[in-house]
Structure 1
Amino acid sequence: MRQCRGMSMNTFDLNKILRPHIISLAPYSSARDEYTGHVGVFLDANENPYGSVTEENYNRYPDPYQAEIKQKIAPIKNINPEHIFLGNGSDEPIDLLVRATCTPGQDHVIIMPPTYGMYEVSASIHDVKIDKVSLTTDFQIDTEAVLNAVTPVTKIIWICSPNNPTGNVMHQESIRKILENFNGLVVVDEAYIDFTDEPSWIQHLGQYPNLVVLQTFSKAWGLAGLRIGMCFASAGLIRILNKIKPPYNISLPAQQALLEGIRHEDRKKEMVIDILDQRFLLRNKLENLPLVIKIYPSDSNFLLVQFEDAKAVMDYLIHETIIVRDRSRVHLCDGCLRITVGTGEENEVLIDSLKKYQQKSVIV
């Protein structure tokens, strides 16, 4: 039985897609839930009162809800802090969204290969059925096929835009149509949004209560080592995620480093400009190599490149200690390597190595 088509977005009810026991779940109450102040004699959390074995004092637990960070993020993203969840990378909210809504062995999610692999991994871990609806040959959403794949037990539709590993933005009208005709969660993963001129779907959260937007500090901000991802959603869903997450999911050093990083938004913007310039130059140089068959359009900080013999090229680059990502066995990505845009110097090393490989192949 297929879900009724043409539904209004107003029929979305968060409680209807949450697992029933999650709604009534009593969350773990940490010491910092009972007292949120920063001043006092803290004898509540069984911490070491003398400090740390390191020069920095890490003897106190961090803010479990990262309030100060959310206050800094809110004006940058033009959204209220109550709509922000911070996780251990984007992978944590991906996992929590599955856990909150999908009953193991019963419910389904929809993914659109080729796409980011953690959607499938998280669903598989929780014994949630994965329905795959292929992107079109130009890596866009087959909207009708996606909606036709929806069943009464479909809880989440995952959309990666800009998409990984293809690099392109999904058409807004396709996403809008899915939002308006599906009463589960529609998650738009915008990990690479800073590298495109397309507006974020965050601006539509008030219009679509079933919309969830993921972003990250790992890419444009250059803070991958901190492992902090952002999830933007309705206040009700954010409360659920806070209820089921581990009590202190982001460490104090990570929170401190992120607060420092957020102060340098101008530097982040400069890095994005440099990466886009390098992407343009790298693309032009790759296009001049005969061993390159095709370079797909990119709205991200990487290029998906089809080679005559991707495996041989990959093996050669590894031998030269140049590491790219082999996507040649991924659906619709036959013969493709995914190449992250590096610095000018790194990109030159790559191009020089590809030229040497090409010369070697001609001689052989």
Structure 2
Amino acid sequence: MFDINTLLRKNIKNLTPYSSARDEFQGEASVFLDANENAFGSPLPTAYNRYPDPMQHAIKLRLKEIKGLPVRNIFVGNGSDEAIDILFRSFCNPGVDNVIIVPPTYGMYQVSANINDVETKKVVLTEEYQLDLNGIAEAIDEHTKLIFICSPNNPTGNSINREDVETLLANFKGIVVVDEAYINFSRQKSFIQELTEYANLVVMQTLSKAWGLAGLRVGMAFASEEIIEVMNRVKPPYNVNEASQQLALQALQNVGQVNDWIKETLAQRDKLVLTLKDMPFVLDIYPSDANFILVKTTDATGIYNYLVDKGIIVRNRTNVELCEGCLRITVGTPGENTTLIETLQQYK
């Protein structure tokens, strides 16, 4: 049985969050003299002299329509990285608790653990880039608070078997975090639909990938009301700035445009795979549910340096466990992909 009170840090249980001016008054008024803002405006075409909505209500109402979730189950943060950090600070006692990560995976889980002085137990994925359930079960102890699973996974691109994640959710007394940054490109359905089934599930998504808003830093977490309440209590009062809120809300009205880009990205990914697999230095291209592919080569570092010299930047992952000899290549525009292919065809 999941009990959030057995997981929370004692100081977080007793935390009184900062009460901002915009928390204490919400609504319309003609004169605002409560927040010590610059009443004269901003030296910009758009006035940013007022503090933003600390709870991002307009964005959450739009996300409610898109995701089919109540507002009380939605957290909006300064990128997904903020949600990761808040989970560490809420549930993990520094120097005492631990989390489980399953490399190769997104590197920020480890970085955030290090910042918060929390031990990471690494259970390496199988050769098929799937969960080692027995290894995870052996790694769990009384101080294990979180398990991070990236699906579709970065840098491998594949989705994690749904049944394996459900096994963890059903048997682990801590929190299972499913990071779905690339879910819009996947054939698998989101774990958001399972929130009513599992009180210990946190699903993270982002507007950085399919939505094309990486520069705005807007991330989302979806979870039970009690977990979201904790995250809102711990976050900074104005964690998402006004410009990002306004622009994100505009973008969220354009679902059709985003869906068209997703279809084009997937078509370009398939073309890229077909062309690359016939190149003599390509040993394997792993199945991808993301907007990138992981390509195993005869000389990842040599190819990477060659592309850099030509002004083309991919990601060299050869030093990552289970990714030896691999390059991670993001799917670009048709023109960018053509430039990449033509350049690689000249590689000796």
Q: TM-score, normalised by structure 2?
A: 0.99
Equivalences for 1:78-157 in 2 at 5 Å? 78-157=68-147
Residue number among 337, 342, 345 corresponding to 1:352 in the alignment: 342
Contact 1:327 1:335 in 2 (8 A): yes
1:353 Cα offset (Å): 0.8
Output the CA distance in 1 between the equivalents of 2:65 and 2:138. 39
Partner of 1:5: none
Output the CA distance in 2 between the equivalents of 1:309 and 1:57. 52
Output the CA distance in 1 between the equivalents of 2:29 and 2:75. 25
Over the aligned positions, Cα root-mean-square deviation in angstroms equals 0.6
Partner of 1:165: 155
1:260 Cα offset (Å): 0.5
Gaps of 5+ in 2: none
Residue number among 35, 58, 62 corresponding to 2:25 in the alignment: 35
Residue number among 292, 311, 325 corresponding to 1:335 in the alignment: 325
Partner of 1:4: none
Amino acid at match of 1:346: E
CA-to-aligned-CA distance 1:182-236 (integer Å, 9 cap, x gap): 0101000000000012111001111100000000000001111110000001111
Amino acid at match of 2:28: H
Amino acid at match of 2:121: D
Equivalences for 1:246-257 in 2 at 5 Å? 246-257=236-247
Partner of 1:267: 257
CA-to-aligned-CA distance 1:272-306 (integer Å, 9 cap, x gap): 00000000000000011111111000000000001
Partner of 1:224: 214
Residue number among 173, 186, 203 corresponding to 1:196 in the alignment: 186
Output the CA distance in 2 between the equivalents of 1:121 and 1:32. 32
Partner of 2:67: 77
Output the CA distance in 1 between the equivalents of 2:43 and 2:213. 26
Partner of 1:245: 235
Amino acid at match of 2:320: V
1:170 is paired with a residue of what secondary structure?
coil
2:164 is aligned with 1:174: yes
Amino acid at match of 2:248: L
Partner of 1:64: 54
1:40 Cα offset (Å): 3.3
- 50-59 vs 149-158, which deviates more? 50-59
Partner of 1:317: 307
Output the CA distance in 2 between the equivalents of 1:257 and 1:277. 28
1:144 Cα offset (Å): 1.6
1:24 Cα offset (Å): 0.9
Output the CA distance in 1 between the equivalents of 2:54 and 2:94. 28
Contact 1:188 1:201 in 2 (8 A): yes
Output the CA distance in 2 between the equivalents of 1:79 and 1:36. 23
2:221 is aligned with 1:213: no
1:39 Cα offset (Å): 2.7
Contact 1:147 1:181 in 2 (8 A): no
Partner of 1:7: none
Residue number among 4, 10, 33 corresponding to 1:20 in the alignment: 10
Contact 1:102 1:128 in 2 (8 A): yes
Amino acid at match of 1:121: V
Moved segments of 4+, more than 4 Å: none
1:356 is paired with a residue of what secondary structure?
coil
1:75 Cα offset (Å): 1.6
Amino acid at match of 1:64: P
Partner of 1:295: 285
Partner of 1:55: 45
Output the CA distance in 1 between the equivalents of 2:167 and 2:46. 51
Amino acid at match of 1:186: V
Output the CA distance in 1 between the equivalents of 2:151 and 2:30. 46
1:38 Cα offset (Å): 3.1
Q: TM-score, normalised by structure 1?
A: 0.95
